[in-house]
Structures are given as C-alpha cells and as structure tokens.
Structure 1
Amino acid sequence: MREKVVNWILFIVLSLIWGSSFLLMKIGLQALSAYQVPALRILSAGIVLTPFAAKAFAQIPKAKLGVVILSGLLGSFFPAFLFCIAETQLSSALTGMLNSLTPLCAVLIGVFFFQQIPQRQKIIGIVVGLVGLYFLVAPNGRLDLGNIYYVLLVLLATVFYAVNVNIVSRHMHGIASINIAAIAFVFLIIPCVIILAVTGYFAQPFTSTKVIGSTAAACVLGMVGTAFASILFYRLVKRAGALFAAMVTYGIPFIAVAWGYYYGESISIFQVGCLGVILCGVYISNK
C-alpha cells in the first residue's frame, strides 16, 4: 500500500510541474525564439546538476553512459525544442493535451521494440483515456488541430518520450535517478551554449523586462520542470514501470485547464466530464 501511495504522490507532483511547463514555454516565447527557450531550459538544468556530475560519472557503469546520454536526448533535449516550435502556432493547452498521447506510444513501442506484452486492462484504460482526450480537444466531434505540421512535431515529441520511458525501465535499474539526470544534462550544456550563441541570445537587450521575464521563465522551466522533474520521473519509472510513468501525461490536461481558468479562459462542464473520462482511463490501467 505504501508503495502505491508514494507512486501516486510522484504522479501528482510530476503532473503539476509538467502541466505548468507549457505555460512557462509560452511566457518564454514572448521575447525569445523557439530555439533559445529550450536551450536555456536544458542549460539551466545542466548547471543545477553539475555538482552531482563527478560522483555520477564515477558510479554509473561505463557501458551504461551511452544509454544515459541517449535518455537525456530523447527524454528532454529533442522534445524541448519540438514543443517550443509547436507552441509558436498552437496554444499551450492544446500542446499539453496532445502530450497525453505518450502512454499509447509507450505501449506500442514497448510491444514492437522491447518485446513487452501489455495486459488487456492496460490497453482498455489507455483507449478510454484517449477517447476522453479526443472529445476534450474536439468538443463538437470535429478535430481542429490547425497547422498539421506543428501538431506532428508534438506527436514526434511524444514518440521520443515513449522510447525514453522504455529505455529507462529496461536498462537503468540499479542506477540512482540523480546520477542519470546529472550525466544526461551536464553532457548537453555545451550544445545549448552553442545554440544560444548562434541564435543571438547573448546580444539580447537584457535591460528589457520582457527579455528578463522570458529568460526567468525558461530558467525556472529548466531547474524545476526539467532537472528536478527528471529525477522524479526516472525514480517513478523504476518504481512503477514505464506504462504508469508515461501516464503522468494524462494528468497534464487537468493542470492546463486549471491555468486556463486562472487566466480567465472559459471552462465548460463538458470539458470537466472529459477530464473525468481520462482519469477513469488512468484508474483502469493501474487497477
């Protein structure tokens, strides 16, 4: 019982953090480009975790270093850029909702590439959750996704997330979560600095309140939404498995709606009902 309680606490905390991250991306994009925001995000995460890198490098088996770095690329680096580029055309709420496709991708990738056999109830739960998600995005039964190119960027990010949860679940047992995160993000510091330099970030007018606000949002996103959240996520994957961890993305629309309500967006009873359906899918899959 205590194990399940801890797993659900991690689930809720991660949902809160990552559900808020899409709004922080939007704030970051007010004055910075879709390449500068994710680069700052990953850079700040790497700086925060630098003090742990030496110990992590000594403790992680050398044969596992490549897998850890790959996890950082698939689980954080590439998705961070894909989401920010998508949010130049899509709303933060819609982007967060589309992110809920990750559990389905996690099951499919686990079946086709990691020889996993999902239980029937888990598949049913994911389908129920996706039905709720569909009507949440398309309340009139018509899916209006705007520019399909940007939607596909989000879907590609969910595929990367799904591959990552399977990699962590299969290959990283016995490695401390802090060590995984430290190596993964410290390795990405130099590429992020290069991207910031090439895109002209260091020439920004740092006396501008908009630039300062966007920079602060990107850094908070990195320190909390990436560094801290990644440690919790790696821990959840190893405790509860890839499918349960991937289903954190089902909690994100709840937070997106809450932020929308806070900022004055209208929230209908129908939307609340759809969120209830999604929650039912989470329950069925983890019953």
Structure 2
Amino acid sequence: MSQRLINYLVFLLLSLTWGSSFILMKIGLKSYSSTQVASIRLIAAGITLLPFFIIYIKKTPTAKIPIIILSGLLGNGFPAFLFCLAETRIDSSLAGILNSLTPLFALITGILIFHAPLVKQQLWGICIGLVGVVGLFAVKGISSNNDWHYGLLVVAATICYGLNISLVHHYLKGFSSLQLGSISLFFMAIFSIPVLASSDIVERFQEAPNAWSSLGASALLGIMGTGVASVLFYQLIQRAGGMMASMVTYALPVVAIGWGALAGEIVSPGQILCMLIILAGVYLANRSKMKQSQVTAKTTKAA
C-alpha cells in the first residue's frame, strides 16, 4: 500500500471519528445530563491516553505543566461542557457546522492577543466566515423559532479552540500532540471525576431506559473522538504535513450533517449554503496563511 493512500485513509478515519462526535453527544444526552456526558467523555479520554501520560510526564518541564493544563481547559475541558450543553437544545448537524469556525477564531485570537500580522486576504476570509455564521443563525431561527441561540455556546467553544491553538503555537512549541494531549487530558479527567461523582449518575444509570447505550456513546466519544483522534491527527501531521491535516476542518461538518440526516434531523438548503460560506471564509484565510508560510520557508532557505 502506497504512503499516499495510507495518508488518505488516516485522513478519512480522522474525519469520520471527529465528525461522529456530535451525534455521539446526542446519544449520550438521551439518558444523562450535559455535565455527565462531558465528564464521562473527558474521563474516558484521560484513561485512553494514560500510558502516554506516564511516559511523557517525566520528560516535561515542571514550569510548563500549568500552561499545558490551561491548554487542556481551552482545548478540551470547557468545549466538552459547552458542546454538550448546546446539544441539549440544537441539532448535532448545526453543532458540526459551527465547529468549522475554529480556524477563523485561531486567526482572530492570534491577531488580537498575540499581535500576529494580518493580511488583507485573511480579513476578507474572517468577514466572509462571520457572514456565514450570521446567516446560519438567521436561517435556523426562521426555520425553528426555538432554541437556536444555544448555538452561541458552540461559538464560545470554538473561541476556546482558537485560543488554545494560539497558546500552543506561542508557548508550547516543541511538544508533540501526544505529549500535550496525554498530560492535559489526564488533568481534565481528574477535574471531571468529582463533577461526575457529585451528580445523580448512579440513579440515571439505574433508571434511564437507554442507560447502557448512552454510556457507551459517551465513553466512545472520549476514547475515539478525543483520545484516538488526537493520535490520528498527530500522525497525519507527521506523515502528510499540516496543510492536509488542516483540511479535516472541511470534512467534519459534512460528516456531522450526514449523521444528523440519518438520525432524522432536518438540514435545510439554507443551512448548507451558510456552511459553504463559512468554509469559503476558512479557505480564504487559510490560503493566505499557507502563502505566508511558503514565503517564509523560501526566505529562510535562501538565507
């Protein structure tokens, strides 16, 4: 089997794994509360990567641990609870579409907080992406007139993702994704244990009709959607480069919409159009960033 084919298979598996996270949350929420599903997810992910934690914690400078914990809160902790709470009121497909905002917020936080240079094309990309978001909320509000505003929790989660990407880029360079993921998720699991223990998880497990399937979905969400996915993402970056890895952003909402449609969720043409507008903005911003990286690389090589 060729290396290129293996890269595409890893890309496909990663897209399916991450894209399926949104419907797994919905299944988990059939029997458990949003905080319980999020806690189970983080605990399962921490256990999955525990062998790597044991290896890497000894090699990690003590001064970096607080930053890695902050990275865990922004990249996994807060978003896990925000996504689950949002999906108590909105469709998993809408959550998957809004998740594609992450690259734009990574760019925005990099500019506002870390004073990264801004290119005109990136600004256009941000504006186009935000227009898509406004349109998406308008379409969802018109079609449902219910709790579409819970989608703002997903937007808040993508802002956390964006902050985390900028944080890792500026303060945690040189650490592998496995190292950061295993250490941060270990602490997220530790933080989640008392949250889960103080809830009515035992009563729900004994009384809810779909307790086992919801528990399985929540655990699978942590094992695959958080634990294994981080390993696959690291492998894809190592094998095919960051550009191909970033393309996962475009595949996730498609997978999420597919699962949502199979689950009976209504996905309107207007939502599809707004998703395409958001992805066009992401592409425009990423394309400009890629060109900057290529210019920098050529300049370095020439020097």
Give the equivalent residue in structure 2 for 1:185. 185
Partners of 1:199 and 1:217 in 2: how far apart? 19
Partners of 2:38 and 2:236 in 1: how far apart? 24
Partners of 1:111 and 1:182 in 2: how far apart? 28
Q: Rg bigger for which structure? A: 2
Give the equivalent residue in structure 2 for 1:221. 221
- TM-score normalised according to structure 2 size: 0.78
Q: Secondary structure at the match of 1:114?
A: coil
Shift of 1:189: 2.4
Give the equivalent residue in structure 1 for 2:297. none
Equivalent pairs counted in the alignment come to 285
Q: Secondary structure at the match of 1:286?
A: helix
Partners of 2:113 and 2:261 in 1: how far apart? 40
Shift of 1:184: 0.7
**Alignment pair present for 1:56 and 2:62:** no
Counterpart residue identity of residue 286, structure 2: N
Partners of 1:8 and 1:117 in 2: how far apart? 32
- The percent of aligned pairs where both chains have the same amino acid is 42
Shift of 1:193: 1.7
Counterpart residue identity of residue 176, structure 1: S
- Alpha carbons 1:10, 1:236 under 8 Å: kept: yes
Q: How has the CA–CA distance of structure 1 residues 153 and 270 changed in structure 2, closer, same or farther, with 3 Å as cutoff?
A: closer
Counterpart residue identity of residue 165, structure 2: V
Give the equivalent residue in structure 2 for 1:127. 127
Counterpart residue identity of residue 220, structure 1: L
Partners of 2:156 and 2:80 in 1: how far apart? 11
**Alignment pair present for 1:79 and 2:85:** no
Shift of 1:64: 1.5
Give the equivalent residue in structure 2 for 1:22. 22
More divergent stretch after superposition (156-165 vs 240-249): 240-249
Q: Secondary structure at the match of 2:213?
A: helix
Q: How has the CA–CA distance of structure 1 residues 187 and 266 changed in structure 2, closer, same or farther, with 3 Å as cutoff?
A: closer
Shift of 1:110: 0.6
More divergent stretch after superposition (114-123 vs 68-77): 114-123
Partners of 1:266 and 1:116 in 2: how far apart? 40
- Alpha carbons 2:137, 2:149 under 8 Å: kept: no
- What's the C-alpha RMSD, in Å, of the aligned pairs? 3.6
Superposed, which structure 2 residues align to 1:122-161 within 5 Å? 122-139=122-139, 146-147=146-147, 150-161=150-161
Counterpart residue identity of residue 32, structure 2: L
Shift of 1:246: 7.4
Shift of 1:181: 1.0
Q: Secondary structure at the match of 1:173?
A: coil
Counterpart residue identity of residue 16, structure 1: L
- Alpha carbons 2:27, 2:214 under 8 Å: kept: yes
- Alpha carbons 1:10, 1:232 under 8 Å: kept: yes
Q: How has the CA–CA distance of structure 1 residues 284 and 191 changed in structure 2, closer, same or farther, with 3 Å as cutoff?
A: closer
More divergent stretch after superposition (150-159 vs 20-29): 150-159
Give the equivalent residue in structure 1 for 2:198. 198
Gaps of 5+ in 2: 288-303
Shift of 1:126: 3.6
Partners of 2:127 and 2:5 in 1: how far apart? 25
Shift of 1:51: 1.3
- Alpha carbons 2:101, 2:278 under 8 Å: kept: no
For 1:120-173, what per-residue CA distance to the aligned partner results, in whole angstroms no more than 9, with x for missing partners? Answer: 223323433444454455449969774476333222212211110111122222
Counterpart residue identity of residue 52, structure 2: F
Partners of 2:241 and 2:106 in 1: how far apart? 11
Partners of 1:271 and 1:168 in 2: how far apart? 32
Shift of 1:286: 3.3
Gaps of 5+ in 1: none
- TM-score normalised according to structure 1 size: 0.82
